[in-house]
Chain A
């Protein structure tokens, strides 16, 4: 379901541009809102969430889609943790559908999907691993990198059980916005994939904006 937001960028307490192929990691307090903007269009934002007080309690794609009874994420989707807690809720979405089946790209899966000689291409998992290494005070590593959300990506499932990678429904300036339901760590890889249409073969910047909100 598409839904615009009333929040004004000029009132954001934080604004940051994630360059193509880069990552962003930060902690959101309960009640804060975070908006991810697809600045130039068709750019996948591979995103993970963690309960800030217990990082083993993290975003769970399978629990989220099963409990909402739908494989696609949009406004109203409650992003559940492995323990069944609500980490965040999507409160605005100008695109209407986001993927959480396809996971993140990695050097190794690129060798399988495209060519054995593509093992040295940059990938989301490289960005994730670098993020956790450069923030090792968080105590996280590879075991914490699980099944993420691909904001702005369109991965339709067919009734006979096929999975297709379609052109994105997103475009320049489209955004998705979440309200943190507890204190959460957010980790975003601005997807560097060059081999499929998830970034329209052209990785571009994303912008992150944060607003202080009501603590309900």
Chain B
């Protein structure tokens, strides 16, 4: 698998990036040191009003966490990507982002003048910067994924951040089922209470995915996902191909 990557890079902790990927792309995120968090949002670049919808993703699959077998849905009933491998086991999509204020309250703010690119960037501002590159703004941000971060819920509804969840070397593979604009940041999870601002690097590796087989695990993990794939197939059948052509 490793030899097939056509591009590989490292995003240091507290940074942001974005890219357009075609359908059929496999994106591997690796938590290099353990304890990383990757905030991520998805849009259809042909019509950015179609965007990742966390509530639909969760209720379609009767899940609160994201892991292998789950599909990430747009608000138009289509699948941006499928989680085809996951050694971490639990990823959050209901806690949103750190903000300039929350970072300053938890850890002393580090100014750009003194710390330069090791300043204390926050997830919300990071998304605004990347969104702006595509004509998107505050009204376009939605509930994001926080890869590698586990937040569970007690019977009375209390939310618990698991600071021991992120293991060094853990990875998650996202197979894109349609052309997708991906916004990402590596800023700390908003519930991370570490003593120091966690600055955790993430490896990003891109390759070509194997075609989706009839017995594909994600497609068949729930009857809802068979219908999600059917919706995405219809989009392609109508001419919205995304294999980079």
Contacts and interface: CB of A to CB of B under 8 A. Distances in A.
Contacts of B101: 84
Interface string A92-116: 0000010001111011110111011
A53 to B, nearest CB: 14
Interface residues of B, number: 45
Contacts of A163: 58-59, 62-64
B49 A161 contact: no
Contact of A62 (B64, B73, B143): B143
Contact of B231 (A65, A71, A72, A112): A112
A116 B76 CA distance: 12
Interface stretch (B8-16, B152-160, B174-182): B152-160
Contact of A143 (B90, B140, B154): B140
Interface in A37-76: 55-58, 60-63, 65-66, 69-72
B65 interface: yes
Interface in B55-110: 55-56, 58-60, 62-65, 73, 75-78, 90, 94-96, 99, 101
| Interface size range of chain A in the complex | 35 or more
A159 B224 contact: no
Interface string B214-241: 0000000000100110110000000000
Contacts of A66: 94-96, 159, 190-191
A65 B58 contact: no
B129 interface: no
Contacts, number: 125
B172 to A, nearest CB: 15
A104 B153 CA distance: 22
A60 B227 CA distance: 29
Contact of B76 (A61, A108, A164): A108
Contacts of A161: 63-65, 90, 152
A112 B77 contact: yes
Contacts of A58: 139
A144 interface: yes
A30 interface: no
Contacts of A101: 55, 58-59, 64, 94
B212 interface: no
Contacts of A194: none
Given A101-B94, A165-B62, 19 more contacts: A56-B137, A57-B138, A69-B159, A71-B159, A72-B157, A82-B138, A101-B64, A102-B58, A103-B53, A103-B56, A106-B56, A108-B231, A109-B60, A111-B77, A112-B77, A116-B230, A125-B75, A143-B49, A161-B90
